[in-house]
Amino acid sequence: MKKFYTILFMFYSIFTFANTLTVKNGDSIYSILNEKLTPKEILILNKNLKKADPEFVLKKGVTYTFQSNKMIIHDGFTKDIILDLNSLQVKIIKYPVKKIDTVISGEINYSLFEAIKSMGESEELAVRLAEIFEWEIDFFKDIRPGDQFSIVVEKLFCKDKFIGYGKILGADFVNQGRLIRALYFEGNKIRGYFTPEGKSLKKGFLKAPLKFGRITSTFKIKRLHPVLKTYRPHYGVDYAAPIGTPVHATADGIVVKKGYSKANGYYVKLKHNNGYYTYYLHFSRFKKGLKIGHYVKQGDIIGYVGMTGYATGPHVDYRITKNGKFINPLRFKSPTKTLPKNLVSDFRKNTEYVEALLNSSYYKYAKLQLLQ
């Protein structure tokens, strides 16, 4: 009898898996059902499907099952779409998603990716954690063995299966003995990660490298060059000002280039954390004592407006790149550096729970707190 049930189970398994298929390139509702329904019936069914779910698209990789004259499309983990091949009606079943706030703590031996993967978590979590702290830590240079992290993250479950991560509600990172805390907050058009004091984790850029001036040329893919008289890209913004006007670093960084070229005149290039660079062209002169390798802070004077190189008037050409790609400085959104006073109370109330979770995640927390 036991052998009989074993064979029966094997046949049941084969039958079940044989009827669970995967959408391939070129598949459509018509190509899948053309042997089961007439073209008119498929048209009616497809119309009912669009009514039930106007945004539905049959995507490659989605699985579907045939059961008792029904086609069940498993649209991700959270939704099943049931096509009745007899009545040509469509039914949608949505499964609830549960959020569980989870604390994940670890220590780095080699890299953040290795540490998080070794805990059975996804690399996605490492990327998102690095993005939160990217203005405080250079994850290519600053990480040391023994650095620690603790993350409060929403884990999402559907039908008792883990389906991904929600928001990272807060995180601690101990880098070379320095504790940095990030708390997530949304309110009054502000959203992001802040220190417990309400300061943005992202160090903002100044909107312009000059205190005063006017824009004479914007970021354009195709612009008639005023000197060369040919069309070419202009990857910066020109700020006109009198010769000798101070030019300021728009963010903390390191001087990686300082020199002269035929086109750029006297220019400075600054390196910022995690792939950002800023450029300042056409100086009349540099700030006295400025050298390659020097660290400058946001707002420091690095040079003075001129019209050296290819320039028809005194100005500074300001440019930004991220991972080698030029960004339009006028569209580059610099985050708010400090929460407005009217939001501080809400911020503290909303993050109190997350702070309590982070505080309980370190048995050495009292000691680490002294390192701030």
Name the band, by pLDDT with cuts 50, 70 and 90, for residue 67. Answer: confident
pLDDT of 177: 86
pLDDT of 221: 65
pLDDT of 211: 78
* Cα 116 to Cα 121: distance, rounded to the nearest angstrom: 6
Type of residue found at 263: A
pLDDT digits (tens, 9 = 90+) for 259-303: 999 889 999 999 988 789 999 999 999 999 999 999 999 889 999
Name the band, by pLDDT with cuts 50, 70 and 90, for residue 20. Answer: confident
Residue 371, pLDDT above cutoff 60: no
Name the band, by pLDDT with cuts 50, 70 and 90, for residue 372. Answer: very low
**Spatial CB neighbours of 364, under 8 Å, sequence gap ≥ 6:** none
**Spatial CB neighbours of 266, under 8 Å, sequence gap ≥ 6:** 259, 260, 282, 283, 284, 285, 286, 303, 306, 308, 309
pLDDT digits (tens, 9 = 90+) for 33-60: 888 889 999 899 989 999 998 888 888 8
Percent of the chain topping pLDDT 70 = 87
Type of residue found at 253: G
Within 10 A of 94 (CB to CB), how many other CB atoms are there?
A: 10
pLDDT of 140: 66
Residue 9, pLDDT above cutoff 50: no
pLDDT digits (tens, 9 = 90+) for 211-232: 777 888 887 765 555 655 666 7
Residue 112, pLDDT above cutoff 60: yes
* Cα 258 to Cα 235: distance, rounded to the nearest angstrom: 19
Within 10 A of 150 (CB to CB), how many other CB atoms are there?
A: 21
pLDDT of 7: 45
- Here the tokens at position 231 are 């069309």
Name the band, by pLDDT with cuts 50, 70 and 90, for residue 10. Answer: very low
pLDDT of 226: 61
Pairing of strands 325-327, 70-74: unpaired
pLDDT digits (tens, 9 = 90+) for 159-174: 888 888 999 999 999 9
pLDDT digits (tens, 9 = 90+) for 335-355: 667 888 888 899 999 999 999
**Spatial CB neighbours of 47, under 8 Å, sequence gap ≥ 6:** none
pLDDT of 172: 95
Name the band, by pLDDT with cuts 50, 70 and 90, for residue 184. Answer: very high
pLDDT of 320: 94
Tell me which DSSP letter residue 194 carries.
E
**Spatial CB neighbours of 257, under 8 Å, sequence gap ≥ 6:** 267, 268, 269, 292
Q: CA angle at residue 6 from 2 to 12, to 5 degrees?
A: 140
Mean pLDDT of the chain: 85
Query: Maximum distance among all alpha carbons in the chain?
Result: 98
* Cα 121 to Cα 200: distance, rounded to the nearest angstrom: 27
